[in-house]
Amino acid sequence: MTPEAADYVRSRLRDREEGRKPCLVRGLGYADGLSDDVYFEGEHFQIIYEKLADPAEQVELLGERVVIAGDTLKRLANRMLVLHTIPRPSGAKYVLLSP
């Protein structure tokens, strides 16, 4: 993980959501949930917060326990995460890429 990606992940992990667990997820597109505006198309990774009733696989990421799906973990094996900035009129959005 690049230093910029690590800083971004740390900031997301500090921004806790009560009752939810941090999850590292893989996506194929990033869009505004309130409109049809697509910010990014292609494989990317994000830290999101979810309520999880079932036990899930966890890894330590920058000193924090993070839930990660097995297929996401496999996609990241031997790859580096880099921060990608998506400029938007309303403010920049960020995703993690693994080129």
How far separated are the first and last CA of the chain, in Å rounded? 11
For residue 51, give Cα distances in angstroms to 13, 14, 18, 19.
15, 17, 9, 7
Look at the chain and report how many structural domains it folds into.
Answer: 1
Q: What is the structure's pLDDT at 87? A: 87
What is the domain range of residue 44? 3-97
Q: What is the pLDDT of residues 52-90, one digit of tens each?
A: 766 678 899 999 999 998 889 899 999 999 999 988 888
Find the CATH number of the domain harbouring 21.
2.60.300
- Percentage of residues of the chain with pLDDT beyond 90: 55
pTM: predicted TM-score of the whole model, two decimal places: 0.83
